[in-house]
């Protein structure tokens, strides 16, 4: 499939399933006004995360990599009334923008933005587990550590999802340490004996694993 067809199909899925409302558009405008990097999920990837939340019957979710809270709003909207999203961000500027996003979306009481390096935050968050879903979307070099934490802290049947499994196609011909880290991560999640896993070829690729019982 050529790039044009792929992008037309992405638009087709977006029209069917992932139209942004005013709040989601506002978040992206705020992210741009604050000069945050434009590396959030695409709308149809946000919708995919909602689908995984529903599929897992998730109530307690951890997101690693908040940015402006765009994906967090997609996820939190799919949670039941007593659901909770813990989202981890090391940049205080990003965390501040994200808190405003969750307030704007009316989700502030459902979402906790935890500021600091994710590895340290995860250590402390373990006491709140087990969790139903862990979404990894941060520094690629730490993906193996995040995966290990997820396996230790997910309930059986819980789901771990990791964004950028394809690295824009560079997974086939890695150019950077981050590409090589993703290659190693994809192999680790594919071969992990405690996971039933797959890469969903949607957007930039979502590696997904279900924690075995």
Ligand X SMILES: C[S@@+](CC[C@H](N)C(=O)[O-])C[C@H]1O[C@@H](n2cnc3c(N)ncnc32)[C@H](O)[C@@H]1O
In the chain, the DSSP E strands lie at 60-64, 84-89, 111-115, 131-136, 154-163, 195-200, 206-211
Least distance CB 203 / ligand X (angstroms)? 11
Of the two residues 60 and 94, which places its CB atom closer to ligand X in the complex? Answer: 94
Q: How far is the CB of 19 from ligand X (least distance, A)?
A: 17
Beta strands 60-64; 131-136: pairing state: parallel
Q: Which of residues 36-75 bind ligand X (CB under 6 A)?
A: 39-41, 65-67, 70-71
User: How many C-beta atoms surround the C-beta of residue 158 within 10 A?
Assistant: 23
DSSP-assigned letter for residue 159: E
Q: How far is the CB of 137 from ligand X (least distance, A)?
A: 4
CA–CA separation, 70 and 101 (whole Å): 8
176 backbone φψ class: left, alpha, beta (φ>0; ψ -120 to 50): beta
Please name the helix (run of DSSP H) or strand (run of DSSP E) that holds residue 193, with its range, or none.
none
Residues of this chain, 20-39, that bind ligand X according to CB under 6 A = 39
- Using CB under 6 A as the binding criterion, the count of chain residues that bind ligand X stands at 19
- Among the candidate windows 53-61, 123-131, 135-143, 194-202, which touches ligand X by CB under 6 A? 135-143
Q: Does 97 bind ligand X (CB under 6 A)?
A: no
The residue among 26, 18, 15 whose CA lies nearest residue 49 is 18
For ligand X, the closer CB: 136 or 189: 136
Question: Residue 101 corresponds to which tokens in the numbers above?
Answer: 């996003």
Taking CB under 6 A as the criterion, the residue among 10, 117, 178, 204 binding ligand X is: 117
Rank residues 112 and 194 by Cβ distance to ligand X and give the closer one. Answer: 112
**In DSSP terms, which residues pair with 207 in a beta bridge?**
162, 199
Q: Give the shortest CB-66-to-ligand X separation in angstroms.
A: 6
Which of 139, 145, 178, 204 binds ligand X (CB under 6 A)? It is 139
Q: Please give the DSSP secondary-structure letter assigned to residue 90.
A: S
Residues near ligand X, by CB under 6 A: 39-41, 65-67, 70-71, 88-91, 94, 117-118, 137-139, 142
């Amino acid at each position: 499939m050529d790039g044009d067809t792929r992008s037309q199909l992405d638009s087709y899925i977006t029209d069917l399933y992932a139209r942004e409302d005013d709040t989601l558009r506002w978040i992206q405008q705020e992210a741009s006004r604050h000069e945050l990097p434009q590396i959030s999920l695409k709308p149809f990837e946000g919708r995919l995360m909602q689908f995984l939340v529903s599929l897992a019957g998730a109530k307690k979710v951890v997101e690693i990599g908040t940015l402006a809270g765009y994906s967090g709003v997609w996820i939190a909207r799919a949670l039941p009334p007593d659901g909770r999203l813990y989202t981890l961000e090391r940049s205080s500027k990003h965390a501040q923008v994200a808190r405003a996003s969750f307030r704007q979306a009316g989700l502030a009481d459902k979402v906790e933005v935890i500021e600091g390096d994710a590895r340290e935050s995860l250590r402390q968050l373990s006491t709140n587990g087990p969790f139903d879903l862990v979404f990894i979307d941060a520094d690629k070099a730490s993906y193996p550590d995040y995966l290990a934490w997820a396996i230790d802290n997910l309930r059986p049947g819980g789901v771990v999802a990791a964004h950028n499994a394809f690295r824009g196609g560079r997974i086939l011909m890695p150019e950077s340490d981050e590409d090589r880290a993703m290659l190693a991560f994809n192999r680790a999640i594919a071969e992990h004996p405690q996971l039933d896993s797959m890469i969903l070829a949607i957007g930039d690729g979502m590696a997904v694993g279900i924690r075995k019982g």
